[in-house]
Amino acid sequence: MKYIFFLVPVLVLALSSCGSKKDTTSSEEFVVNDGSATASDPIAEGEKLVAGSDCKTCHHSVNKLIGPAHTEVAKKYEFTAANVSMLAQKIIQGGQGVWGQIPMTAHPDITVADAEKMARYVLSLDGEKEH
């Protein structure tokens, strides 16, 4: 019970930072163009988009934070075009209930194309290839 006074402010801070808006007009500002990601490698582009976004505030690649680990998402969902589309919509619109009652913040400034690249990257983390 004595830990509740510590947990509440931590959760409030984490949830408020998940939805922080960036002063961007385009998701292209998230991409660092070092030449390694090309238009033919959406998974590499997705990795760069995830790394440059606020995803890591709530998600870690292998450990559960506020939201599920990205590898857990990859294990839960088969790597299909339908799941890429569904996860891209969750990235853009947010959601709640699949992984618990803490809501995932919406990211309406991310384009569908970029959200799909991010979803492809996440779904690739368990080694599965898209089919």
What fold, for 4-124? Cytochrome Bc1 Complex; Chain D, domain 2 (1.10.760)
Q: At what angle do helices 112-124 and 42-51 cross, to 10 degrees?
A: 100
CA proximity to 43, closest of 105, 97, 124, 129? 124
- What are the residue ranges spanned by the domains of the chain? 4-124
Q: List, for residues 70-106, the tens digit of each pLDDT value.
A: 999 999 999 999 999 999 999 999 988 888 889 999 9
**Angle (nearest 5°) at CA 44 between 38 and 49:** 100
The pTM for the full model equals 0.69
Between 39 and 5, whose confidence is greater? 39
pLDDT band at 49 (very low <50, low <70, confident <90, very high): very high
- What's the number of CA atoms in the CB half-sphere (13 Å) around residue 17? 14
> How far apart (Å, rounded) are the C-alpha atoms in residues 128 and 131?
9
> What pLDDT is stored for residue 39 in this prediction?
55
Please report which confidence band the pLDDT of residue 131 belongs to, taking 50, 70 and 90 as the band edges.
Answer: confident
